[in-house]
A and B are shown apart, each in its own frame.
Chain A
Amino acid sequence: MGHIAVVDYGMGNLRSVAKALEHVAPEARVSVTSDAGEIAQADRVVFPGVGAMPDCIRELDARGLRGALIEAAHAKPFLGICLGMQALFESSEEGHAAGLGVLPGKVRLFPAAAMHDAEGQRLKVPHIGWNEVDQTVSHPLWQDIPSGSRFYFVHSYYVEPGAAGLTAATTSYPFAFACAVASNNIFAVQFHPEKSQAAGLRLLANFVAWDGTTRA
């Protein structure tokens, strides 16, 4: 458990992520930090964020966090949330930005032409609200969370993983997209566990107890 670093790079409401972690792990030290050294020393790292991808990468670089993040993503239990998931991939259609390239794949905008349901009713973008998360692999972070549980989403872009086997769950809007990915010590989600009530808190509790292996 120990020290959990929540990476602060000026993008979005990090306080709610920290508060949710404190709620599930009262004995852990949760620090919201933009200090590369602190990220390097932490036992586990949470990479949250909302906003636009080009700003995200620029703000990370402005704080000199790129190296520490990439290193952490290879070394210890690492949780990416929303923009923090997207930024792990190679590139994004949002502002044609390059990501950190820790995981293969790209980030795409929900295509306007596809955004209607089976009855032909228009689906709104951003995708906002509680949608079902269908687990495609067993993983320690899914422990005690039934597949199909609803989590809270708010996003206009989604990840298209470039390697088979990365996807840990999918959500339909209206097509199935990867809403969670897992690779070694990395777990990353498009939804907001810190805003997803009981299911979200469970996922965060699972992360706090996770040893960073994919053994379920």
Chain B
Amino acid sequence: MSLAKRIIPCLDVTDGRVVKGVNFVALRDAGDPVEIARRYDEQGADELTFLDITASSDNRGLILHIIEEVAAQVFIPLTVGGGVRAVDDVRRLLNAGADKVGINTAAVTNPQLVADASARFGAQCIVVAIDAKQVSLPGEPLRWHVFTHGGRRDTGLDAVAWAKKMEQMGAGEILLTSMDRDGTKIGFNLDLTRAVADAVGIPVIASGGVGNLDHLVDGILKGRADAVLAASIFHYGEYSVEQAKRYMAEHGIEVRL
């Protein structure tokens, strides 16, 4: 027996509420973040990820209060991402109680931020989030690009090469979201997940598209991810985290039960 594969519920937070959209649009309210965090903790979540998708700068500070409140009640690792642009943003989130900070768009516009934050706080707390989308045409070898700005902007960067570069720059983990799957419930992009997981020596968290428990199993066994992240299947009560873990265990995956 050894290291367990992780299940990480993801909470997209805007203006102090958990929401979930499809392909980054059409948001639907899913509840109070502290209450939801506690529920997932009780169900055996291995970690929690909060993505702050608050659009207005007025309400940016809300996420800090939410993290402080969650960290006082929930004793599992917390990752927070969204709008992290400077080393000082990383510091503020860690001080509020985050254990890891996700860096997404800013890693592309300023890769040095990843190196600086990693040198300052340690690689273990720097998660580089990559939103990727398939750009190869049918019949061509598979290729994926990194997209930013909530999936609207093609950076032209190759997602696999970018993941390797982020590892070199000091990322401790990669949170890989298949942008064209996000919210669709048709499963992870397994080719993408495996290509990135095989290319880097740091753990890869698969994200985007989970609609049932087989998708989680596939993410680990076929995508070779170290952890799987999902939102809507847990938010709306379709499955509990515990059910998901039992299902994965039945398929030979080592989990924490």
**In the bound complex, CA of A201 to CA of B224 (Å):** 31
| Interface residue? A117 (CB, 8 A) | yes
Q: Are B3 and A129 in contact (CB under 8 A)?
A: yes
Encoded as 1 (CB less than 8 Å from any A CB) or 0, chain B from 1 to 16 comes to 1111110000000000
Binds B, one of A13-21, A65-73, A97-105, A136-144: A13-21
How many of chain A's residues touch chain B, expressed as a range? 35 or more
Encoded as 1 (CB less than 8 Å from any A CB) or 0, chain B from 210 to 242 comes to 000000000000001011000000000000000
Q: Are A12 and B75 in contact (CB under 8 A)?
A: no
- Within A108-128, the residues touching B (CB, 8 Å) are 112, 115, 117, 121-128
**In the bound complex, CA of A115 to CA of B200 (Å):** 13
How many of chain B's residues touch chain A, expressed as a range? 35 or more
Q: Are A130 and B46 in contact (CB under 8 A)?
A: yes
Binds B, one of A37-45, A85-93, A152-160: A152-160
| Interface residue? B124 (CB, 8 A) | yes
Q: Are A12 and B203 in contact (CB under 8 A)?
A: no
Q: List 26 A-B contacts (CB under 8 A).
A: A12-B121, A12-B125, A13-B97, A15-B95, A19-B72, A23-B75, A50-B121, A50-B124, A51-B121, A112-B201, A122-B201, A123-B3, A126-B173, A128-B124, A129-B4, A129-B46, A130-B4, A130-B6, A132-B1, A132-B2, A150-B4, A153-B3, A154-B77, A154-B99, A195-B75, A195-B76
On B, residues with C-beta under 8 Å from A are 1-6, 41, 46, 71-72, 75-77, 94-99, 121-125, 172-173, 198, 200-204, 224, 226-227, 256
Q: Are A129 and B75 in contact (CB under 8 A)?
A: no
**In the bound complex, CA of A126 to CA of B204 (Å):** 11
**In the bound complex, CA of A43 to CA of B69 (Å):** 28
- Neighbour of A173 across the interface among B3, B41, B71, B99, CB < 8 A: B3
| 10 pairs of A and B residues whose beta carbons are closest in the complex | A51-B122, A130-B256, A154-B124, A124-B203, A130-B4, A150-B256, A131-B3, A195-B77, A128-B203, A50-B122
**In the bound complex, CA of A154 to CA of B4 (Å):** 13
Greatest chain A CB density within 10 A among B2, B76, B97, B198 is at B2
Q: Are B97 and A15 in contact (CB under 8 A)?
A: yes
The main secondary structure of chain B at its interface with chain A is: loop
- Within A200-216, the residues touching B (CB, 8 Å) are 200-201
**In the bound complex, CA of A168 to CA of B196 (Å):** 37
Greatest chain A CB density within 10 A among B4, B75, B123 is at B75
**In the bound complex, CA of A196 to CA of B41 (Å):** 11
Q: Are A126 and B203 in contact (CB under 8 A)?
A: yes
Chain B nearest CB, measured from A97 CB (Å) = 14
Chain A nearest CB, measured from B154 CB (Å) = 29
B-chain residues with CB within 8 Å of residue A50 when the two chains form the complex: 121-122, 124-125
